[in-house]
Amino acid sequence: MGQKCMTPTCPLCPNLDGTAHILGECSHPQMAAHRISRHNGAVRILHKALLKSCLAGYVTIMDATSKQDLPEDCEDTRIPEWVLPNTPTELRKKLRPDMMVIKNLTPAELTHFRTLTDQERAAAQRRLEVHILEIGYTSLTWLDDLFAEKAQQHAGLVKELTQAGWRVVYPKEHIVALGTAGHIRRETETLLKMWLPGDSATVSSTLRKLSVHSATKCNDHIITRRILENGNKDGQPRSTQRGVKR
């Protein structure tokens, strides 16, 4: 379906072309939409595993869907004001972790927690932990860049949470790096085993789902790219367009 390469640049955007570009960098709106869909799907897969883990049952924020489509156990897609009451609204809205779990704070306890002030709130926060979890896609040769990017991305969030009296947990192990063509790193298995001790079935199932999801999206990326570079601006097969015969 492709055309012979005549230049080193992408036919859809002005950047250098290549496999990594197609699967993770192209700025064409349709390709960017594919990346967002791939990322959000992986977050939701990990969230389902989280529901069976040692972090289950606690207040959770997940930025991988619209607010109306959030799972019942998720509080919001954005960090609520009660988490960072002294942070300016515009800054708080820009702090968007993929998932954030407030360990030891259940939804049933949230109403009471929100009424606490000053020393009572500080005392309650001392028994809580804020776990930040981030998911990213990359090629195997760019892993260090991904880890550095994700750490820097949430440096401001960690600072704001710490200043607000929260105990933050955001180690490198909480940055889940997934391969753009289906590769799953050993560290992801280690993280899931830590979340799900003794539940090897859920660990294996989650790893398999992540790999299949990534490979499927890889295929979607390539097909969409080929369609777009052949002149279909909508990114849809020509046979599906009205009035066009196969």
Least confident segment among 9-13, 110-114, 208-212: 9-13
- pLDDT of 112: 96
- pLDDT of 242: 39
- pLDDT of 241: 42
**Burial bucket for residue 172 (CB in 10 Å: 0-12, 13-18, 19+):** exposed
- pLDDT of 2: 52
Question: Does residue 229 carry a pLDDT above 70?
Answer: yes
Question: Does residue 7 carry a pLDDT above 80?
Answer: no
Instruction: Report the Cα–Cα distance between both ends of the chain, in Å, rounded.
Output: 15
Question: Does residue 33 carry a pLDDT above 80?
Answer: yes
pLDDT band for position 59 (50/70/90)?
very high
pLDDT band for position 235 (50/70/90)?
low
- The percent of residues in the chain predicted with pLDDT above 90, rounded, is 74
Least confident segment among 2-11, 109-118, 120-129: 2-11
How far, in Å, are 94, 95, 160, 165, 192 from residue 91 at the CA level? 5, 7, 10, 18, 32
pTM of the model: 0.87
Going by their DSSP bridges, the two strands 129-138 and 175-179 should be labelled as: parallel
Question: In sequence order, which residues have a C-beta less than 8 Å from that of residue 242 and are 6 or more positions away?
Answer: none
Catalogue the long-range contacts made by 16-22 (C-beta closer than 8 Å, 24 or more residues apart).
19/139, 20/139, 20/142, 20/180, 22/221, 22/222, 22/225
Tell how far CA 16 is from the center of its chain.
Answer: 26
Question: Does residue 147 carry a pLDDT above 80?
Answer: yes
pLDDT band for position 214 (50/70/90)?
very high
Average per-residue pLDDT for the chain:
89
Nearest Cα neighbor of 27 from 38, 42, 11 is 11
Nearest Cα neighbor of 12 from 3, 81, 162 is 3
- pLDDT of 73: 85
- pLDDT of 144: 86
Taking residues 197-217, report their average pLDDT: 95
Question: Does residue 173 carry a pLDDT above 80?
Answer: yes
Tell how far CA 85 is from the center of its chain.
Answer: 25
